[in-house]
Amino acid sequence: MQFLQESFVSEKRWLGVVACGLVWVAGLFAAPGVQAQEKDIAGKWQGTLDIPGHPLRIVVEFSKDNGALKAKIYSIDQKAQFSASSVTEQAGTVKVGMTALGATYEGKLTPDGKEIDGSWSQGKALPLNLKLATEADEWAIPEPLKPMAATADPGIEVATIKPSRPDAHGIGMTLKGQMLVTANTSVVDLIALSYGVNKKQIAGVAPWMENERYDITLKPDTPGVPNEKQYFSMVKKLLAERFQLKFHMEKKELAVYALELGKGEPKLTKADANAGNIGGVGFGGLGKLFVQNAPLAEFTGILQHMVLDRPVVDQTGLTGRWTFTLNWTPDESQFADMGIKIPPPSDKADAPPPLFTAIQEQLNLKLEATKAPVDVLAIDKVEKPSDN
């Protein structure tokens, strides 16, 4: 799940949705702009990012700092804002990099210098044409949403469940403002995501639980933007209240992938002790994964839910929070549950390695196929959703 589809809390949290499936939190940090400019593009530029079903109004504010271009990006409808990592303008071509989000914007200035025809790329390119705003038509920049109190256990004030379009592809789960929105999600998707299990760890699944898909909107009854725990707590309550889900947990030995230490020190950056618990995991496209101030459980969680076909067990013994990036070339066995068709492998010499090799070379960890006892969520009761 990707693009600018998630709420942002301060400049250190961004919940995003990528074209391929669920994307967790990616921290965003400002970085110095890059020297190179021929035209004066300082000012506020605005346009609508045409995400199907979820258009987002975007404002890009360019400025100069000691001759270097910088940019601040605002997602109006999400009350989100963050700084670009790099900005250049050469011969009328404007490029904006957002490294931690795995996103870029590139556009061409029109001859009159009042518009930029371009696209936003984050795993997939979408049109984003910007127009230089005037005092008469510029969009108001909202204050960023504040996080929900960490001790809050939000209930659901409003919940709507609608059947997804038959031609919908992939799945999505995002925060839009304070609202939690899912797209083309099955009951199995909701259970797997909210309870942190692989689909093979769910027993007693009826065919409709995978085949029937829903677009869901949830509004919490508590002010502020929920954190990950609160986010999934709302989904669990929805499953219990609207789908009448009841289950019990069992232990079973299943085929798994075990994440283990390699030889020597792992190539991971220990997160700043003052960073708190704002962070997470997000995709910047197929085979490009960003981990920012997150425990390894979030890394293995996204591998087992989105990428691989079996549970992933963390056996590294590493505790705390970590920051790293993983680049690999996916094969046709990966992202299958997301409905993603993997393109043929690149024959370029600089193409990233396969996943298992990338984990070993880039992280000095290893992923081993084995068997291990894991938790299994055994369904006792579940029904099709009650009326809105």
Domains of the chain: 10-132 (2.40.128.120), 156-246 (no CATH), 253-375 (no CATH)
CA 80/CA 60 separation, integer angstroms: 12
Instruction: Decide: 114 and 196 in contact? Cβ < 8 Å.
Output: no
* Per-residue model confidence (pLDDT) at position 222: 94
Write down how long the chain is. Answer: 388
How high is the pLDDT of residue 275?
A: 54
Q: In whole angstroms, what is the distance from residue 119 CA to residue 212 CA?
A: 33
> Which parts of the chain sit beneath pLDDT 50?
1-37
The per-residue pLDDT for 228 is 76
Identify the H or E element spanning 58.
strand 56-65
Residue 354's identity, in one-letter code, is P
pLDDT of residue 265: 93
What is the model's pLDDT at position 13? 31
Residue type, 16: G
Spatial CB neighbours of 112, under 8 Å, sequence gap ≥ 6: none
Q: Tell me how many degrees the CA angle 234-102-178 measures, rounded to the nearest 5.
A: 25
pLDDT of residue 249: 97
Which pLDDT score, from 0 to 100, does residue 69 have? 93
Q: Taking Cα atoms as reference points, which of 307, 55, 286, 52 lies closest to residue 183?
A: 52
Query: Which candidate, 307, 300, 302, places its Cα nearest to that of 259?
Result: 300
Residue 191: per-residue pLDDT: 95
Res 9: pLDDT: 30
